[in-house]
Chains A and B, each alone.
Chain A
Amino acid sequence: MIRYILKRVGYMIVTFYVVITLTFLAMKMLPGTPFKFANRLSPEQLNQLKHYYGLDQPIPIQYLHYLWNFIHGNLGGSFQYGMQPVTEFLFQRFPISLQLGFESMIFGTVLGIFLGIVSGIYRGRFLDWGTVTLAVVFISIPSFIFAAILQYFFSVQIRIFPVIGWSGPMTHVLPVVSIGVGVMATIARFMRTEMVEVLNQDYIVTAQAKGLSTNAVIFRHAIRNAMIPIVTVIGPLTSAVVTGSLVIENIFAIPGIGSQFVDAIVTNDYPMIMGTTELYAGLFIVTILIVDVLYGVIDPRIRVSGGKSI
């Protein structure tokens, strides 16, 4: 088990190193100069500026410098906000995005598991058909369209929820639902498949044969076993939730990292873009690592074969 975890951590470090290097290279390949009035400056002034920011050194040296700064948590200053450190912004805004992400995940997972269980038990009936159809629809419709629909009906027409903002519990409802329905649909589909599979197993027949009530069979034997593989979808879902939060934060004017990121891209605030990209990459990579290790702990078969299940 420890060998397996070490191997995964090794891969994680390599992947993250590649991301850092790629962001550095992307930054070097950007067109134009980082100085706003480069054409108005004399060559001497330009050289002075370049020297100040270390841009006159050869690229490998700059690269080492960049890595050194990165290890010490220095991601540079934001162009947009008078060279304020990027890390400061990230620390300030990340908790809000994290909260939005967690709430959406919990909303989607709880509802999804419930719907999946019900659908799996009543397989082939109307309830099942309804859940499956709804799941396809919710997986397909992009979250920003869903957000627009919710905002139009619940904020503009009926005025139950505020249109934008992130201050009280009421402001959380629409953004969380907009992101969460996709999670719900994915988990419901997955849970249903697992449930149907588990209900066809021999040990379920055994449990029924020894006289357990239907409820006991479902709650004690079926649901527990069906829920284990749910862990595997959490990795891909995190990526979907982050993608969703990018637009949802913009639509509902939530001061998280996603809206900051889109702003930074539109205004060419490169250090901010790089910092956020690295944060996202780190988030994904760590999530996938945790999911893999967790699944290895739950299901010993995975770590013996030592890799991805499918």
Chain B
Amino acid sequence: MTAKSNAEVTKELFVPAYLSDTESEKISGKSVSAWKDALRRFLTNKGAMLSMIILTVIILLALIGPHIFGYDIDNQDVSRANLPPKIEGLTWLPAFSGYENGVDIYKEKNISKNYWFGTDQFGRDLWTRTWKGTQISLIIALIATLADVLIGVVYGGVSGYFGGAVDNALQRILEVIAGIPSLVWIILLILIMQPGLITITIAILATSWLSMARIVRGEMLKLKNQEFVLASRTLGAGDGRIIFKHLIPNSLGMIIINTMFSVPNAIFFEAFLSFIGLGIRQPQASLGSLINDGYQMLQIHPYQTLYPGIIISLLLICFNIMGDGLRDAFDPKLRR
């Protein structure tokens, strides 16, 4: 319309628009649940996303890596001992040239095959051993998660939900267990049993759930007296239903965050024990024991320590950054 017709707007043209109350109270736009909100915050966190990508790559390589060259973890051949890393397409990079101190070791030893991470003093392929070792670290991560969820959540849940005498007894026990440092627990366990993956597993199962139990208990104490629990109980829900349908889902954010922080701890402890010779035994390899083996050769063949060292550092850094990201996502109040 033109400006002229605008001038013809008269008072009678204005009529009140009647909107029913139900319409006006309607919320336009999609409802965003707490979970969707957390997911959105997590996805926009660049550091956490990058960590997730790196972790995925490491996990894939740990699964595929040991099978690429068809070597076994204990395939020894002294004629190819202590070869530096060499990758065909990347020989222009000094790290993967197959040269050591200016000498082409591959030519010297007359070896045509490439060893991507080099070989150790027994001629074992370090690429295969490193990724096998990464598998161990990932298994430990899985075990720590299970311990947290199966023992920590249940212990803390029972203690916090039932309260009273049960809570008092469980908390006193927890206090004594937590009063003894995990290092002491683990060493006592290793003394009784033989060092190895099973012992480390038991040691981590025994010690990693403590902080989770405390946190879940705190959440339970906070949540159990809230109205929605009372409502559920009024409707006849039993203890089991209230715990598993109401209390645990509501504390799931805290549980996930805490798991993400106990995983790097467990990975570190396994590597630490293997490094001081209490963990995985030869010919099995874990990242810690590989670093220990390579460490003896650090001055002559630094590459033998380098790659396991890089991978375990990446694993720990990525888990920690992801943990930070999840904490910010689930509990933006904590973000500072």
Contact = CB atoms under 8 A, between A and B. Distances in A.
Q: Do A and B come from one complex?
A: yes
Interface of A: 11-12, 14-15, 18-19, 22-23, 26, 29-30, 136-137, 139-142, 144-145, 148-149, 151-152, 156, 192-193, 196-197, 239, 242-243, 246-247, 250-251, 262, 265-266, 270, 273, 277, 280-281, 284-285, 288, 308, 310
B317 A137 contact: yes
A152 B291 CA distance: 14
A288 B184 CA distance: 15
A26 B309 contact: no
Contacts of A19: 180, 184
Given A19-B184, A22-B188, A148-B295, A140 B218 contact: no
A292 to B, nearest CB: 11
Interface in B162-206: 175-176, 179-184, 187-188, 190-192
Interface in B197-253: 214, 218
Nearest to B295: A148
23 contacts: A11-B179, A14-B176, A18-B179, A23-B188, A140-B264, A140-B313, A141-B313, A142-B312, A148-B291, A151-B298, A247-B275, A247-B276, A250-B276, A265-B190, A265-B191, A277-B188, A281-B180, A281-B184, A284-B184, A285-B179, A288-B179, A310-B214, A310-B218
A145 B313 contact: yes
A145 B182 CA distance: 21
Given A145-B313, A197-B336, A285-B179, A243 B272 contact: yes
A166 to B, nearest CB: 19
A298 B181 CA distance: 25
Determine the main DSSP class of B at the interface with A: helix
A142 B302 contact: no
Interface string B277-308: 11000000000000100010011001001000
Contacts of A193: 336
Determine the main DSSP class of A at the interface with B: helix
A79 to B, nearest CB: 13
Nearest to A120: B336
A250 B275 CA distance: 11
A2 B317 CA distance: 43
A304 to B, nearest CB: 18
Contact of A15 (B180, B278, B291, B320): B180
Contact of A148 (B180, B183, B190, B298): B298
Interface string B27-54: 0000000000000000000000000000
Contacts of B295: 148, 251
A219 B312 CA distance: 40
Contacts of A197: 336
A310 B218 CA distance: 8
A4 to B, nearest CB: 15
A277 B291 CA distance: 26
B305 A18 contact: no
A246 B276 contact: yes
Contact of A239 (B183, B271, B277, B319): B183
B316 interface: yes
A266 B279 CA distance: 11
A145 B291 contact: yes
Most buried by B among A11, A139, A277, A308: A277
